[in-house]
Amino acid sequence: MAALLEIRDISKAFGGIQALDGVDVAIDAPGIYGLIGPNGAGKTTLFDVVCGRQVADRGEVRAEGRAVGRLSPDRLARLGFARTFQECRVFPDETCLDNVLFGAQDKRLGVEWRQLLTRGMGARSARRDEAMRLLTLVRLDTYADRPAAALSYGQRRLLEIVSTLIARPRFLLLDEPASGINPTLLNVLHDFLLKMYEERPIVFLVVEHNMPFIMSLASHIVVMHQGRVLTTGSPADIQRDPAVIDAYLG
Amino acid sequence: MTAMTALTAMTAPRAGRLAIAIVALLALAAPFLLADQPYFLHVLILTMTFAIPAIGLNLLLGYTGLVSLGHMGFAGVGAYTTALLMMDHGWSAVPAMAAGAAAAGVLGVLVGIPCLRLRSHFFIIVTLAVGMILFALFNNLDGITGGAEGLPGVPRPGPLDLGFMVIDFRRLGGFYWFALVVTLFALLVQYLIVRSDFGRSLAAIRQDEILAAARGVNVFAHKLAIFGISTALAGLGGALKVMFLRVAAPLSFELLESINLVLLTIVGGAGYLAGPIIGALVYVAIPEILRFADAWRLVLFGVILVAMTLFAPRGLSGMIEAGWRRLRRGPAVTGEEAADGRPA
Ligand SMILES: Nc1ncnc2c1ncn2[C@@H]1O[C@H](COP(=O)(O)OP(=O)(O)OP(=O)(O)O)[C@@H](O)[C@H]1O
Ligand SMILES: [Mg+2]
Cα B218 to ligand 2 centre (Å): 25
The pLDDT of residue A242 = 87
The pLDDT of residue B335 = 40
The pLDDT of residue B290 = 67
A135 vs B321, more confident: A135
Least confident of A162-171, B53-62, B264-273: B264-273
Answer whether A19's CB lies under 8 Å from A203's CB.
Answer: no
Q: Where are the alpha helices (DSSP H) in chain A?
A: 43-50, 73-78, 96-104, 109-118, 122-126, 128-137, 153-165, 183-199, 211-217, 235-240, 242-244
User: A170: burial class by Cβ within 10 Å (0-12, 13-18, 19+)?
Assistant: middle
Cα A43 to ligand 1 centre (Å): 8
User: A173: burial class by Cβ within 10 Å (0-12, 13-18, 19+)?
Assistant: buried
Three-state SS string over B184-250 comes to HHHHHHHHHHHCCHHHHHHHHHHHCHHHHHHCCCCHHHHHHHHHHHHHHHHHHHHHHHHHHHCEECH
Nearest Cα to A193, choosing from A213, A222, A179?
A: A213
Work out which ligand 1 atom sits closest to the CA atom of A15.
4
pLDDT in tens, B7-56: 444 445 677 778 788 888 888 888 878 877 888 899 999 999 999 999 99
B150 vs B79, more confident: B79
Sequence-ordered list of residues with C-beta below 8 angstroms from that of B277, at least 6 positions apart, any chain:
B51, B187, B268
Cα A48 to ligand 1 centre (Å): 10
Sign, CA dihedral B189-B191-B196-B200, equals positive
The pLDDT of residue B142 = 87
Whether B97 shows a pLDDT value over 90: the answer reads: yes
Spatial separation of the C-alpha atoms in residues B232 and B226, rounded to whole Å: 10
How close, in Å, is residue A156 to chain B by CA atoms?
14
The pLDDT of residue B294 = 65
> Which amino acid would we find at residue A44?
T
| Regions in chain A scoring below 50 on pLDDT | none
Report the CATH number at residue B249: 1.10.3470
B343 touches A at CB < 8 Å: no
Query: How far, CA to CA in Å, does B71 sit from each of A77, B68, B133, B232, B261?
Result: 34, 6, 12, 10, 8
Whether B187 shows a pLDDT value over 50: the answer reads: yes
The pLDDT of residue B293 = 61
Spatial separation of the C-alpha atoms in residues A87 and A54, rounded to whole Å: 16
| A interface residues, B as partner, C-beta within 8 Å | 51, 53, 72-74, 77-78, 82-83, 85, 89-95, 98, 102-103, 105-109, 111-113, 115-116, 119, 122, 124, 145-147, 150, 163, 167
Cα A208 to ligand 2 centre (Å): 9
Nearest CA to ligand 1 atom 9: A45
**Domain extent listing, chain A:** 1-80+169-250, 92-168
In a mutational test of the A interface, the residue from B63, B202, B211 whose CB has the highest number of chain A CBs within 10 Å is B211
Q: Is A103 in the pocket of ligand 1 (CB under 6 A)?
A: no
B330 vs B139, more confident: B139
Contact yes or no for B197 and A107 at CB 8 A? yes
Backbone angles phi, psi at A66, to 5 degrees: -90, 135
On chain A, the residues whose CB falls within 8 A of the CB of B2 are: 94-95, 98, 145, 147
Spatial separation of the C-alpha atoms in residues B124 and B129, rounded to whole Å: 9
The percentage of residues in chain B with a pLDDT greater than 90, rounded to a whole number, is 49
Pairing mode, strands B160-161 and B166-167 = antiparallel
Say what the pTM is.
Answer: 0.90
How close, in Å, is residue A195 to chain B by CA atoms?
22
* A177-185 CB contacts, 8 Å cutoff, 24+ apart: A177/A84, A177/A206, A177/A208, A178/A208, A178/A210, A178/A213, A178/A214, A179/A86, A179/A209, A179/A210, A180/A88, A180/A153, A180/A154, A181/A154, A181/A157, A182/A154, A185/A138, A185/A139, A185/A154, A185/A158
User: A166: burial class by Cβ within 10 Å (0-12, 13-18, 19+)?
Assistant: buried
The pLDDT of residue B329 = 67
pLDDT in tens, A126-185: 789 999 999 999 999 999 999 999 999 999 999 999 999 999 999 999 999 999 899 988
In a mutational test of the A interface, the residue from B189, B198, B215 whose CB has the highest number of chain A CBs within 10 Å is B215
Nearest residue on chain B to A96, judged by CA atoms? B2
- Range(s) of the domain holding residue B250: 3-340
How close, in Å, is residue A27 to chain B by CA atoms?
22
What domain count does chain B have? Answer: 1
Cα A51 to ligand 1 centre (Å): 15
DSSP state of B156: P
Q: Is A39 in the pocket of ligand 1 (CB under 6 A)?
A: yes
Q: Is A173 in the pocket of ligand 1 (CB under 6 A)?
A: no
* Residue B150 pLDDT class (50, 70, 90 cuts): confident
B95 touches A at CB < 8 Å: no
* Residue B289 pLDDT class (50, 70, 90 cuts): low
The pLDDT of residue A122 = 67
Cα A42 to ligand 1 centre (Å): 6
Whether B133 shows a pLDDT value over 80: the answer reads: yes
How close, in Å, is residue B133 to chain A by CA atoms?
31
Give A1-80+169-250's CATH code, choosing from 3.30.750.24, 3.40.640.10, 3.40.50.300, 3.90.226.10: 3.40.50.300
| 3-class secondary structure, A6 | strand
pLDDT in tens, B216-227: 999 999 999 999
The pLDDT of residue B13 = 60
Whether B73 shows a pLDDT value over 50: the answer reads: yes
Paired strand residues for A174? A206
Backbone angles phi, psi at A154, to 5 degrees: -60, -40
Work out which ligand 1 atom sits closest to the CA atom of A176.
27
Mean pLDDT (chain B, rounded)? 85
Mean pLDDT of B294-313: 75
Contact yes or no for B213 and A74 at CB 8 A? yes
Nearest CA to ligand 1 atom 16: A42
Answer whether B182's CB lies under 8 Å from B97's CB.
Answer: yes
Whether B4 shows a pLDDT value over 50: the answer reads: no
Contact yes or no for B339 and A77 at CB 8 A? no
B60 touches A at CB < 8 Å: no
Whether B300 shows a pLDDT value over 80: the answer reads: no
